[in-house]
Structure 1
Amino acid sequence: MRRGVKLLTWYRVLPLLVVLLFGAISFVYSFGPSLVFKSMYPLEYEDEITSSATAHGVDPYLVAAVIRSESSWDPHASSHQGAVGLMQLMPETAQDMIDKGLVDGTRYSVDMLEDPAVNIEFGCAYLSYLLAYFNGVTDKAIAAYNAGMGNVDVWAQEDDLLHNAITFPETQAYLVRVSMAQTRYQELYPQAFS
């Protein structure tokens, strides 16, 4: 008889264990992806991004996505082609932003592209310039950030769907990567730039 009591006790505990197991699974399902994605999509320099993005009329989430895709948030990143900093800007492009009057050359120096605030200012100005050039079409601006405006002009004439016309696999992947990162940043950090 005593063995039967233990067996009945086990069956009382079993439903509680099942409920706890499903609760744990629900918790991981609800909050786990956010925790995992936040480690994959970190966010830094919110004040600098907010300030420059606002000044140049650019979506700050797009800026964050470009930074993640270009340098993975490393302000000292540099490419073999000479691009520098968080947003991987060529010094010539930064100088062009000064020459066009989009960046105050007395306040921001091309020689300081490794400084996050300076790099973000030039990068936002360049994104703003590209968006204006392509009449606000974000996909074209993103592709041009990677492959240049001339290539995007040619591709845009070849097909209405830009992604189908892009002939550089790197630029196709870049467009997808930045667009997806922009969406992730909007989902993960909805109040970051308010």
Structure 2
Amino acid sequence: MKKVMDKKISYFRRTVLIYFILIGAAAMIFCSYYLYETSGYQVKLQNYIIAAIVFSASITAILILFMRNIITPMEQISRALGEAAKKLSQGHLDLALPVFPGNDVNKIGEYLNDFTVNVQEVLLHVQTHSNFIIKTIEQIKQKLGEQNNAVITPQIERDFTLARQHIQNIQEMIQAFEYYDICLENGKVMSGNTQSASKTQAGCEAEKEKHP
């Protein structure tokens, strides 16, 4: 079963169709006027020039509208996608693509913004569970040390240390990312303003100054 959204004519297709109708109407008016003048044998150069000017102005106005409503949004989203891809490759998850309400380009920005939020949630999930794993390792090590007959061999000690180092490396990698509405400080998730990345960043910087 198709969605209702799929049955609707897309914004770009509808806009292009309107522009072609306007161009066709302008051409028909011009041709009708020209044929009327020639059929009555009353061809006047002045009227012909006026009709040509009106037709040219109509075409120019239609092209300007086409550029503003079609080409410009496509160029903007193209530049935004290029910048977004560059930031994502550098670990920036705090990007927010511009949204163009009322047209299909809006969906691209929304989908990519949702993607960055989902990636962020996965990283935070890993961060939270990695802290739990480190605590569990320390508890196991402590329990073994408390047992009278248990002896922690150098090999076991190295295994614990290696596991802890691997988890800490993962945490450092996660902390290297830049997030939109939260920041990470010493492995702790700090909430920020979900509507302003700049305020969140300012809050993170202020918190870092409190806990150097």
Common fold by TM > 0.5: no
Larger radius of gyration: 2
For normalisation by structure 1, the TM-score amounts to 0.32
> Higher relative CO (CA 8 A, sep ≥ 6), structure 1 or 2?
1
For normalisation by structure 2, the TM-score amounts to 0.30
